[in-house]
């Protein structure tokens, strides 16, 4: 089964922020590149220049099996709010995964909304996750994940850091709107 993944950067530019400096979420670009290299169709939704409802509609229109979010401390509220709203508005069958600095450090705070937390570097984890979802394989044998099984929190083995950085696909910059 071909898998499609939406990667979401849930930062919404605040109206009172006058800074002209905005940078694309390059980490998601690298993950998108890795997924593409392995034949996975990818949609990247950078919410920086969108309204909340516009981001919701774009993610829903993508019709993906996996919705992956990046999060850090300053984005936790919007990450959880956007994911919760998507779940309530029809993406009940998609696998929701979150990664980034905060979820890697404190994954438990995301497991009420997300199905899984990718801990550490996400390139290999997301490729394997897409492969497992496509084949209907369990996530429990994957490295670098935290998820719930009933009331229990399962932490799989740590995924090693990527040693050969030249092996990474280039970021999929063409997926950035701006």
- 19 assigned to some structural domain: no
Residue 159 makes CB contacts below 8 A (sequence gap 6+) with 119, 120, 121, 124, 125, 143, 144
Model confidence over 32-60: pLDDT tens digits?
Answer: 999 999 999 999 999 998 999 999 999 99
> CB within 8 A of 133, min separation 6: which ones?
3, 65, 66, 95
In a domain, 92, yes or no: yes
**63-101 per-position pLDDT tens digit:** 999 999 999 998 999 999 999 999 998 777 899 999 999
User: Structurally, how many domains does the chain consist of?
Assistant: 1
Cβ-proximal residues to 61 (8 Å cutoff; 6+ apart), any chain:
none
Instruction: Point out which residues pair with 96 in neighbouring strands.
Output: 67
> Domain holding 68: CATH number?
3.40.50.280
Query: What is the Cα gyration radius of the chain?
Result: 15
**Residue 43 counted as domain residue:** yes
For residue 145, being part of any structural domain is answered with yes
């Amino acid at each position: 089964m071909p898998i499609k993944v939406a990667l979401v950067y849930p930062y919404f530019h605040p109206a009172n922020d006058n800074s002209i400096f905005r940078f694309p979420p390059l980490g998601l670009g690298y993950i998108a590149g890795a997924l593409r290299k392995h034949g996975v169709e990818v949609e990247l939704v950078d919410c920086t220049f969108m309204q909340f409802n516009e981001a919701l509609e774009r993610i829903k229109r993508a019709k993906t099996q996996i919705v992956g979010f990046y999060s850090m401390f300053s984005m936790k509220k919007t990450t959880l709010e956007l994911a919760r709203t998507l779940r309530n508005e029809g993406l009940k069958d998609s696998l929701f995964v979150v990664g980034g600095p905060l979820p890697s450090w404190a994954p438990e705070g995301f497991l009420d909304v997300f199905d899984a937390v990718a801990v550490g570097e996400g390139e290999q984890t997301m490729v394997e996750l897409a492969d497992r979802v496509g084949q209907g394989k369990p996530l429990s044998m994957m490295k670098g994940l935290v998820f719930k099984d009933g009331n229990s929190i399962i932490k799989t083995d740590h995924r090693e850091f990527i040693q050969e950085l030249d092996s990474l696909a280039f970021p999929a910059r063409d997926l950035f709107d701006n």
